[in-house]
Structure 1
């Protein structure tokens, strides 16, 4: 493994740790509160906090395992229902986003699902005030086409992430915030496809990828 690959792996690990810090920290806070709390009502609230935080942590780990990792528990083909369950858990965390799902029933290559999950994560994070998130994938003339559409009262996409998605950033300029977007583009290109992003808009974001079957 080259030094560049080691650096990229380290950045990806940093992103995962950052995203897991909040729910794992909440578990720690809940345990500390529970140690000193004697009121039964407050104890119940602490237990609910622990349960919610533990569930969120587990769901995020499952999502990251397939989106970023080798996901050895899956075969070369992944049932879209598995992906939908992961996306639904991600969307429910915010409580402000409505999911639209339009995927074919048959299994899709793991590489397509990985791209889809990464684009969903980017689109979800851009919906800073909530809104609608539509996910679709189908077999086209050029390969399997993935389309993610985010619509809301305010779309906020980091300039660095946009640069990573459209290929105008150098690997040496990547950060923990942008590395997943760059990896997603590379995954599409290395599988004979491409990745597209819509022009800047304050209310709508379209992300698309094509992957050869």
Structure 2
């Protein structure tokens, strides 16, 4: 079984990979700004720096809640918080539209982690754009989460699906599949389940886990 330390290292690798592009853009923009004398070009450099800084900050906020233990695991999170995080990520890609259908005003921290990670997988699958639909509701003591990524030529690594279903060997885990592995472990620990289905037009992922009052 993958140790907590190994999983943490893989998640850190994923975080570093996703931050490399916007942080690298910041570095390049600063170098260009130092050498540029034309006022219009300097203004353009500043705009690019602002954009890269915003993307970096948005990703860090997302990772803090999706991967981290901010505030502990047992508290409730206002649903508006994950909505804003996902809206910020989607805003960086004008070919993707976010549909939000979460009826609960608050969700447990585990449910939010599951939602954000599954939504990030759905967003990654929309390489040619499309619609990312996010839904969640609590009924009969269970919180049900549904993510649907619909668009042309859905790109979904089967290894991620195997990690979600627990079919990936420990030595096959990578920074790319670690979030799916983490989500499966989290859901199973809470006594829930996670699953997915993929077609050429859509990727659908879902999870069910006990509502807060039933979580030990």
C-alpha distance in structure 1 between counterparts of 2:53 and 2:189, whole Å: 36
Q: Where do 1:132-211 residues align within 5 Å?
A: 132-141=131-140, 143-198=142-197, 200-211=198-209
* Corresponding residue SS for 2:68: coil
**Number of the residue aligned with 1:71:** 70
Counterparts of 1:11-26 in structure 2 under 5 Å?
A: 11-26=10-25
Structure 1 unaligned residues grouped into runs of 5+:
none
Three-state SS of the structure 1 residue aligned to 2:127 is coil
Q: Is the 8 A contact 1:126 1:155 kept in 2?
A: yes
The 2-side partners of 1:63 and 1:20 are apart by: 11
Paired residues, number: 211
TM-score calculated relative to the size of structure 1: 0.95
RMSD value, Cα: 1.6
1:111 aligns with 2:110: yes
SS in 2 for 1:94: coil
Unpaired runs of 5+ residues, structure 2, are 212-216
Larger deviation: 69-78 or 170-179?
69-78
Give the deviation of 1:105 after TM superposition.
Answer: 4.0
Deviations 1:68-90 (A, max 9, x none): 00113897000001110000001
1:155 shift after superposition:
0.5
- Match of residue 99 from structure 2: 100
Residue 102 of structure 1: SS of its match in structure 2? strand
- Deviates further, 140-149 or 56-65: 140-149
Cα 1:73–1:90, aligned 2, differ >3 Å: closer, same or farther?
farther
Which residue matches 1:122?
A: 121
Greater shift after overlay, 22-31 or 142-151? 142-151
SS in 2 for 1:186: helix
Alignment pair present for 1:46 and 2:45? yes
Residue number in structure 1 paired with 2:214: none
> How many angstroms does 1:159 deviate by?
1.5
- Cα shift at 1:3: 7.7
Counterparts of 1:117 and 1:159 in 2: how far apart (Å)? 19
CA distance in 1, matches of 2:55, 2:74: 25
- 1:77-88 alignment to 2 at 5 Å? 77-88=76-87
